[in-house]
Amino acid sequence: MKKIGISMMLLVFATIGSIKAQSFDYILTAGKQDASNYLGNYLEPVMVGLVQNLNSGWYHTGKTHKKYGFDFTINASASFVPSDAQNFMFNNTDYTVLELASGSSSESLPTVMGTTTTEQIDVKVPLDALGNVIPVGSSSIPTSYKVARFDALDGIVDELPIAAVPSPMVQIGFGLPSKTDIKLRFIPSVGNDEVKFNLIGFGLQHNILQYLKLDKTIFDVSVLGAFTTSTTRYAAKNSTIPGANQETTFKINAYTVQVLGNVNLKIVNFYAGLGYAGGTSTVKVAGSYTFDYDIQDTFGNVINTVSEEIVDPINIKYKMSKQLKATLGMRLNLAFFKIFADYTVQDYGTLNAGIAFSFKEK
C-alpha cells in the first residue's frame, strides 16, 4: 500500500516541482485572481485525469462473490490526455494584469501535460499617486505600475513515456449476503516531511441477474456504485520564496455508477460497463509568500523596487460534470489468479490493467 501511495504522489510531486522550479514567485505578483486563472488552465489535464483514474479499476468482472468470498486486486490506470488539452489559449482579455510579453493578444501555451515554450508573460498592475492598486473599472489615471516578467510554464510531457496521467491502485473486495460485494481502497498517510498522501474509497456491487429469468451460467449482470477521495499535501522544506506556513494541497473526489455485464467462458471472461462518472478536484496554495517587484513610471522607467506579501494566494476548483463512460475488457482466469485489461471511452480515454487473487466467485 505504501509503495502504491508513493507512486501516486510522483506525478503530483512532478507537477508541483515543475511550477516551483520555474516562475512561481513571479506568477504570484499577478494577484490571486489572475494567478489562479493562469494556474487553473495549466493544471487542468492532471486534475481531470486523476478524477477519471480514480473512477477506473473498480471491477474486472460482472460477477459477485459468494458469501465470504474475497479478492485482492492490483491495477494501474492511465488516462490519455487529448491533444487539445495539452495546450490552452492565453487571451490577454481573460486577465486583469497579465499580458503576453510578445505583444500578441493571444497565444497557445502548454498545460502541465504539454511541451515547452519560449513565451514570456508580463505583470502590469496600475497604481495611483499614493501607490495603491487601482481597482478594475476605476476611472483613475495610473501614475505608476508595479511590474514583473516571467517565463510561461513548461509542460512535463517530454519527461513522460506517453501523454497520459497514470495512477496505480490496490483494492480489496468481500462477498456479503444477497450476492453483494463491498470494495475498499485504502492508503494511510504515507510520504515524508515534504510530501504526504492518503486515499480512501468505497464501492458496492450487487448482482441483479438473480431477479431476472435469464441464463445464470453464462451471463452475469450487476450494478456498481463507488466513491474515492485522495489528498496530497506538499510543504517545501527549503522554499526559495520567503514566507511562512507554505503548503500546497491537491484534493480529489471521484464517483461512478455503472451497470456491469459479464460473459463467462471459463478460462476467458469478457466484461463491460456502462454508466456515469464525475468528480471534483481542488488546488490550494496556503501560507504567506514575500516577493520583490519593480515600480515603473508611465514612461517605463524603474523608479523603485519594493517587497510585498501575499497570503493564501491560490484556490482553484475543478468540477468534472457527470459524463457517460463505456468500458470493455477481458480477463484471463487461471484458477484463483486473474489477469485483466480494459479500456474506457470517456473524455480522456483510460486504459486499465492488473492482476487479482479472487476466491469464491459466484
**Within a 13 Å sphere around the CA of 174, how many CA atoms are in the beta-carbon half?**
7
For helices 31-54 and 2-20, give the axis angle rounded to 10 degrees: 150
* Average pLDDT score over residue span 182-195: 83
69 falls in which pLDDT band (50, 70, 90)? very high
Q: At residue 157, what are phi and psi to the nearest 5 degrees? A: -65, -30
Instruction: Report d(CA 258, CA 344) in Å as an integer.
Output: 12
Q: When comparing pLDDT for 22 and 74, which is higher?
A: 74
Residue 166: other Cβ atoms inside 10 A: 19
Instruction: Kindly provide the b/e burial profile for residues 336-361, where b requires at least 16 CB atoms within 10 angstroms of the residue's own CB.
Output: eebebebebebbbbbbbbbebebeeb
What does the radius of gyration of the chain's CA atoms come to, in whole angstroms? 25
**Within a 13 Å sphere around the CA of 246, how many CA atoms are in the beta-carbon half?**
19
**Stated length of the chain:** 362
Lowest mean pLDDT segment, chosen from 48-57, 87-96, 137-146, 274-283: 137-146
- Can you give the pTM of this predicted structure? 0.86
Residue 4 has pLDDT above 60, yes or no: no
